């Protein structure tokens, strides 16, 4: 499959499985600063974060999974909400630790697969014992709760040495980071499908608009789009 970078110019084409393509993608997606919060999300053209099976899996593609791997490789930690882990299951990143944010600490029946660094759980102090019961062996970071502020979640991760942070959802957690003004960049895959909007990308609650600037845009042979949207503060810097 061919990936084309159509913005910024000049046009550049990459064969997905060719030698040197991974290194070029690492160049495309490397964060410009050590401390960086990136959302990495996928949506249909009609704005749903879930496809026909009720999960994001049917919106992905081989190129999307390749880019996902590159973004994870460049991260110190990959963050996800517990509801997404319970609903969709999760394959642990191979290099970066997976951090799960949970208010209740209840990760019973989680669907986390694969091997990797120890799982990190971010939770309120009162949920620590429940985390230990439902996910033994996890590293636990505590944030005063029960409604953990987004800034406190990010502060706990940064304080643990995780400076380059990638949040992969779900919608509620992604919205929290946006509303708090903490997001530096949104990496957004747009799948070439019109679907019913069963899971809005940032949930259904309104929030003040945030200006973003297109950093780059890739297109593959199946018409999937891969954009880097940089937030206004970062774009002006």
Place of tokens 């880097």: 228
Mean pLDDT (the chain) is: 93
Q: What confidence tier does 233 reach under pLDDT thresholds 50, 70, 90?
A: low
Q: Is residue 18 a part of any domain in this protein? A: no
- 12 domain residue, yes or no: no
Q: Say how many domains are in the chain.
A: 1
Q: Which two tokens stand for residue 21?
A: 């393509």
- Does any domain span residue 201? no
In a domain, 200, yes or no: no
On whether residue 103 sits in a domain, the answer given is: yes
Q: Please give the residue range of the domain that contains residue 183.
A: 34-46+58-192+210-236
The string of pLDDT tens digits covering residues 64-119 is 999 999 999 999 999 999 988 887 788 889 899 999 999 999 988 777 888 889 99
pTM of the entire structure? 0.93
Query: What's the CA gap between 72 and 78, in Å, rounded?
Result: 7
The model's pLDDT over 45-70, given as tens digits with 9 standing for 90+, comes to: 999 998 888 888 889 999 999 999 99
Any domain includes 177: yes
Return d(Cα 202, Cα 179) in angstroms, integer.
10
Please report, for the domain that includes residue 110, its CATH number: 3.40.430.10
Query: What pLDDT is recorded for position 91?
Result: 86
In a domain, 126, yes or no: yes
Dihedral sign, CA of 231, 235, 236, 237?
Answer: positive
Tell me the HSE value of 143 on the side-chain side, using a 13 A CA sphere: 25
- Asked if residue 82 is part of any domain, the answer here is yes
């Amino acid at each position: 499959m061919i990936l084309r970078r159509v913005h910024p110019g000049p046009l550049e084409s990459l064969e997905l499985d060719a030698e040197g393509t991974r290194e070029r993608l690492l160049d495309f997606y490397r964060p410009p600063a050590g401390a960086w919060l990136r959302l990495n999300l996928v949506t249909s053209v009609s704005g749903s974060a879930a496809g026909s099976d009720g999960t994001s899996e049917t919106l992905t593609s081989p190129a999307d999974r390749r880019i996902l791997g590159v973004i994870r490789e460049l991260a110190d930690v990959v963050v996800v909400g517990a509801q997404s882990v319970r609903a969709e299951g999760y394959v642990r990143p191979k290099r970066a630790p997976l951090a799960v944010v949970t208010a209740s600490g209840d990760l019973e029946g989680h669907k986390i697969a694969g091997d990797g660094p120890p799982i990190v759980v971010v939770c309120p102090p009162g949920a620590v014992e429940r985390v230990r019961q439902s996910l033994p062996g996890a590293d636990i970071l505590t944030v005063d709760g029960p409604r953990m502020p987004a800034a406190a979640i990010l502060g706990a991760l940064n304080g643990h040495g995780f400076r380059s942070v990638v949040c992969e959802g779900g919608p509620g957690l992604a919205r929290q980071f946006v509303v708090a003004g903490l997001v530096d960049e949104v990496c957004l895959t747009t799948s070439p499908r019109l679907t019913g909007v069963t899971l809005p990308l940032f949930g259904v609650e309104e929030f003040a608009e945030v200006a973003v600037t297109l950093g780059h845009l890739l297109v593959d042979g199946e018409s999937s789009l891969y954009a880097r949207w940089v937030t206004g503060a970062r774009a002006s810097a």
